[in-house]
Amino acid sequence: MPGPVLVPILGDQLTRTLASLRGRTKDDTIILMMEVWDEATYVKHHKQKITLIFSAMRHFAEELRDAGWTVDYVQLDDEGNAGSFAGEVARAVEKHSPRLVSVVEAGEWRVRQDMEQWADKFACDVEILRDGRFICSQSEFDEWAADRKELRMEFFYREMRRKTGLLMDGDKPEGGEWNYDSENRKPPKDGLSAPERPKFEPDAITRDVIELVEARFGDHFGNLDTFEWPVTREEAQEAADAFFAERIECFGPYQDAMVVGEDDLFHSMLSTSINLGLLDPLELCQRAEQVYKDGKAPLNSVEGFIRQIIGWREYVRGFYWHQMPHLQNANALNAQRGLPEFYWTGQTDMACLADCIRSTRDNAHAHHIQRLMVLGNFALLAGIAPREVQDWYLVVYADAYEWVELPNVAAMILYADGGKLASKPYAASGNYINKMSNYCVGCTYSPGKKTGDGACPFNPLYWHFMHHHRERLEKNHRIGRIYSTWDRMGGDRQREYLQSARAFLDRLEPAAKGWARPADG
């Protein structure tokens, strides 16, 4: 009798439509799911991130068993746990003598490199299947990118609109424009608040995992008392239903707004579920389109939401594989400063940063503009070394996997790729944050003050950054004109800016080692 097929399912592949399950018969298949030490500690993930992944994995295993599949589930504390994917697959091969190991390609470079060695390691055939959960295959992206000097999301996005038919009116974009972003930059009006989104009480499975995580990863960043993520497909659907019923209408206009105490505003909060495999990205976009067709949300909101998914999400995934492995070491601006300690403690008198870090610690989440224009903008202007910023983002967000985190961090916020992804650095002074949020009202600094005591640190840091990178940025037609403003200031004013920035940077305390990676990591 030939052995069964062994189907390893990784922690972010939690869907029954996975390519490795397609066409399999239940009596001939053993599904392997493994909680492993290496994955939980290669960086010291936020406690909520580990809890979310382990709990969603355990719930998915239960769903599979209920549907009649055989699941070999290895828990972290099981005796003999080999601690790594390869080690656990080796144990399963020994135990089940499969004729074939059939696995869907890993989303991250690090794991895929390892996976490609499996065929040489195990005494059976190994097949690595394409991940069909993305709309754009890697070969399609590579072909699109092949002869382009600059890779711009906007053009890629139009291809995806044509490919999916979403918001298309024949071969024209619905409403006549591809992109309605100019309608999506409303500052928050006084008292802006969003309807409460569904929050999910930990059930017995999640409570067990919380106990495990507190016991084994107690020194990792983050609060666990506030865990309320969806951990099953049903819960994720409930979260999506609430978004489409109550929040998508205002999603567009207030996409860039930030309000103290309103941690997620009108954002969908669906990234964790999409990245885990609990929700299908294309289905979500089709639902969004239907909401528009039913007249329940405006085009700018629906187009904005769809662009985030079939545009940005697909694009950064293609970009990641197109640019790896060198993207992880890119540092075009030669940024060398250590990450400040306050990114971990939240102890800073800059109210905007303190609030975004508080939300990050409590929710393992911050919304896009907080990640980009507050936390990211600061890291860019202060010249923080990309590897340290990358580690931070990978650790602290429950939706963070390297394929999506790295392009956003290295290329979008830090311009470390020298402008392949973004046409200019997303650099901004305190003015932008003051316009788009109510943070500055409660801050010890003043966004209107440019230099010296009490000046918002973003102001001198902005000009310090611009001055420092003049040679490169002056040639950029989207940002180069700013230098005429700088030149008009004259030497004394320029010196005040530069001295203010240097004095601030000299006071920054770098983080102690050990927050992001284990001591020997």
* Contacts with ligand DLZ, residue ranges (CB under 6 A): 10-12, 34-36, 39-40, 45, 50, 53, 106-108, 111, 401
Residue 434 contact, options ligand FAD, ligand SF4, ligand DLZ, none, Cβ 5-8 Å cut-off depending on partner type? ligand SF4
Residue 126 contact, options ligand SF4, ligand DLZ, ligand FAD, none, Cβ 5-8 Å cut-off depending on partner type? none
Residue from the set 13, 55, 434, 438 that interacts with ligand SF4 by CB under 6 A: 434
CB of 355 to ligand SF4, least distance (A): 8
Instruction: Decide: 325 and 142 in contact? Cβ < 8 Å.
Output: no
CB of 458 to ligand SF4, least distance (A): 5
CB of 305 to ligand FAD, least distance (A): 6
Residue 34 contact, options ligand FAD, ligand SF4, ligand DLZ, none, Cβ 5-8 Å cut-off depending on partner type? ligand DLZ
Asked if 252 is part of the footprint of ligand SF4 (rule: CB under 6 A), the reply reads: no
Number of residues that bind ligand SF4 (CB under 6 A): 14
Sheet with 5-8: strands ordered across: 70-74, 29-34, 5-8, 100-104, 125-129
Write the DSSP symbol of residue 231: -
Write the DSSP symbol of residue 384: B
* Closer CB to ligand SF4, 251 or 439, in the complex: 439
DSSP string, 176-196: G-S--GGGS-PPPPTT---PP
* List of residues contacting ligand FAD (CB under 6 A): 267-271, 274-275, 305, 308-309, 312-313, 316, 367-368, 371-372, 376, 393, 397, 399-400, 404-405, 408-409, 412-413
Site for ligand SF4 in 436-475 (CB under 6 A): 439-440, 443, 445, 447, 456-458
Cα distance between residue 251 and residue 293, in whole Å: 16
Cα distance between residue 310 and residue 110, in whole Å: 25
Residue 248 contact, options ligand SF4, ligand FAD, ligand DLZ, none, Cβ 5-8 Å cut-off depending on partner type? none
Give the chain's radius of gyration (CA, Å).
24
Residue 456 contact, options ligand SF4, ligand FAD, ligand DLZ, none, Cβ 5-8 Å cut-off depending on partner type? ligand SF4
Task: Residue 314: name the closest of 161, 177, 470, 513 by CA.
Answer: 161
* Closer CB to ligand FAD, 363 or 438, in the complex: 363
Asked if 350 is part of the footprint of ligand SF4 (rule: CB under 6 A), the reply reads: yes
DSSP string, 305-347: HHIIIIIIIHHHHHHHHHHTTGGGG--TT---BPPBTHHHH--
* Closer CB to ligand DLZ, 31 or 34, in the complex: 34
Residue from the set 375, 433, 466, 473 that interacts with ligand SF4 by CB under 6 A: 433
* Closer CB to ligand DLZ, 10 or 456, in the complex: 10
Cα distance between residue 408 and residue 468, in whole Å: 23
Amino acid at 264: D
Task: Residue 511: name the closest of 364, 377, 391 by CA.
Answer: 391
Asked if 14 is part of the footprint of ligand SF4 (rule: CB under 6 A), the reply reads: no
- Determine how many CB atoms are found less than 10 A away from the CB of residue 211: 12
- Output phi, psi for 191, to 5 deg: 75, 10
Residue 417 contact, options ligand DLZ, ligand SF4, ligand FAD, none, Cβ 5-8 Å cut-off depending on partner type? none
Cα distance between residue 278 and residue 295, in whole Å: 27
Instruction: Decide: 423 and 478 in contact? Cβ < 8 Å.
Output: yes
Residue 270 contact, options ligand FAD, ligand DLZ, ligand SF4, none, Cβ 5-8 Å cut-off depending on partner type? ligand FAD
Asked if 352 is part of the footprint of ligand SF4 (rule: CB under 6 A), the reply reads: yes
* Closer CB to ligand SF4, 439 or 497, in the complex: 439
Asked if 351 is part of the footprint of ligand SF4 (rule: CB under 6 A), the reply reads: yes
Tell me the residue ranges of DSSP E strands in 67-141: 70-74, 100-104, 125-129
Residue 354 contact, options ligand FAD, ligand DLZ, ligand SF4, none, Cβ 5-8 Å cut-off depending on partner type? none
* Closer CB to ligand SF4, 90 or 260, in the complex: 260
* Closer CB to ligand FAD, 309 or 428, in the complex: 309
* Closer CB to ligand FAD, 7 or 111, in the complex: 111
Is 149 strand, coil or helix? coil
Asked if 373 is part of the footprint of ligand SF4 (rule: CB under 6 A), the reply reads: no
Task: Residue 43: name the closest of 417, 442, 344 by CA.
Answer: 344
Cα distance between residue 452 and residue 264, in whole Å: 34
Residue from the set 291, 430, 464, 500 that interacts with ligand SF4 by CB under 6 A: 430
Tell me the residue ranges of DSSP E strands in 46-176: 70-74, 100-104, 125-129, 168-169, 172-173
Residue 258 contact, options ligand SF4, ligand FAD, ligand DLZ, none, Cβ 5-8 Å cut-off depending on partner type? none
Interface region with ligand SF4, contact rule CB under 6 A, candidates 34-42, 238-246, 350-358, 467-475 = 350-358
CB of 121 to ligand DLZ, least distance (A): 18
Helices marked H in 200-336: 204-216, 233-242, 248-251, 271-276, 281-293, 299-306, 314-323
CB of 160 to ligand FAD, least distance (A): 13
Helices 204-216 and 47-66: crossing angle in degrees, nearest 10, is: 140
Binding site for ligand SF4 (CB under 6 A): 350-352, 430, 433-434, 439-440, 443, 445, 447, 456-458
